[in-house]
Amino acid sequence: MNKKKNLLAGLLAAVLSFTVAAPAFAAKSVSELKQEMAETEEQRKKAAEEINQKQAEKDEVVQQRNELDQQISGVLEDIEAVEETIQEKDDEIELKNDEIGALQDKIDQNEDKLKTRMRIMYEYGNVSYLELILESKGLSDLFTRIGAIRDIVAHDQELINTYVSAQKEIEEARAVIEKEKEEQEEVKGILDDKEDELKELQEEKDQMIDSINSDIAELERLEKQAQEDYDDLQAELNAELAKSAKGSSVTYSGNGKFLWPAAAGGRVSSNFNPNRVHPILGYVRPHNGTDIAVPMGSNVLAGEAGKVVTAGWNNSYGYYVTINHGGGYVTLYAHNSKLLVKAGDTVTRGQVIAKAGSTGNSTGPHIHFEVRINGTPVDAMNYV
């Protein structure tokens, strides 16, 4: 983050260095204006590139935040499901409590019977089987007495077993439900923590987005300032070029086959030269045309009637136009700021086909004018 802030500070300092007005008496030369324009444009490009990087960074953070939104929604759905399960467990526990109450009522109802049976057993407890036999009035009475004792013992055992079994069943059922409820509450606790964690991350992403938006706003301000400075320098340069062109005229030494392509007149800043050292690339590269320095946005004229072959972009030529005039003649007009014709159009001699500029490999606004005969570049000055 500090590195990015330093870059912003650097861009700001660079832009401000061009916004300080020069003294009125310090007139700038064309070369100085071009140099300042190049530096200002470089600062504008850096700001634009940083804006793109910041926007990409913002898009990534926004995507991450959206993913957090989805995760939070999922966690909230899980919490809702767990809360429903906990409520179901509460309902089940309440139901079991009702069952426990019903069983307790049953036990209470049978308690008196149990006490009666215990009293009978106590009464018979001290009577031996021999006494029981001796006191019997007969064999039938003996069997009746023995059967009664067996029934009492069996019934008492059944009551005890039922009580113990019911108690155990109820306790186990309640324990299972309470454990399940406890487990669900633990899950809910984990989900609540997860929700808090995700919301904290979401807040961090929001802060990052706010910070990036602030950086973008500052960079856009710097870019706008650099563009305004560039436009001011361009206006100065156009004024200087117009001043230098005023009162001077180009000497046309050619055969006049083609019209001079610069409506503003202009001046020749670089001639046709197969052995010229390229001003930007720094090595020998044939210069196949004539460069005519003109004000930015001035009209570019068709040298002769013909059909537009190309009207588009080239990394070297920038925005350029080629026109086929027939008889093997083709003219080319490069480094334009705007094209006014398209491929396939038919143009007339002197028709405005573009606006002069400095696109592509260019050091300032000018028209790069080429004449080609059967595909071979020739000195355009011989044909105007």
Give yes or no on whether 1-246 and 253-383 have one common fold. no
Residues in the chain, total: 384
pLDDT (0 to 100) of residue 165 = 80
Take residue 48 and report the two structure tokens written for it: 């634009």
pLDDT (0 to 100) of residue 249 = 47
pLDDT (0 to 100) of residue 215 = 94
Pick the CATH number of 1-246 from 1.10.530, 2.70.98, 3.60.21, 1.10.287: 1.10.287
Beta carbons of 359 and 369 less than 8 angstroms apart = no
Show me where the domains of the chain are located. Answer: 1-246, 253-383
Q: What secondary structure does DSSP assign to 247-296, as a single string? A: T------S-S-S--SBTT--EEEE--BTTPBPTTT-SB--B-SEEEE--T
pLDDT (0 to 100) of residue 52 = 93
How far is 328 from 313, CA to CA, in rounded Å?
23
Q: What percent of the chain has pLDDT over 90?
A: 36
Take residue 44 and report the two structure tokens written for it: 């504008």
Q: Does position 128 have pLDDT exceeding 50, yes or no?
A: no
Dihedral of CA atoms 124, 126, 130, 134 in degrees, nearest 10, equals -60
Instruction: Look up tokens 């031996």; give the residue.
Output: 128
pLDDT (0 to 100) of residue 379 = 92
CATH class for the domain made up of 253-383: mainly beta
Question: Could you read off the pLDDT of 38-50 as tens digits, one per residue?
Answer: 898 899 889 989 9
How far is 356 from 292, CA to CA, in rounded Å?
10
366 CB-contact burial (10 Å; exposed 0-12 / middle 13-18 / buried 19+): buried
Instruction: Look up tokens 């929001």; give the residue.
Output: 206
3-state secondary structure of 328: coil
Confidence of residue 60 (pLDDT cuts 50, 70, 90): very high
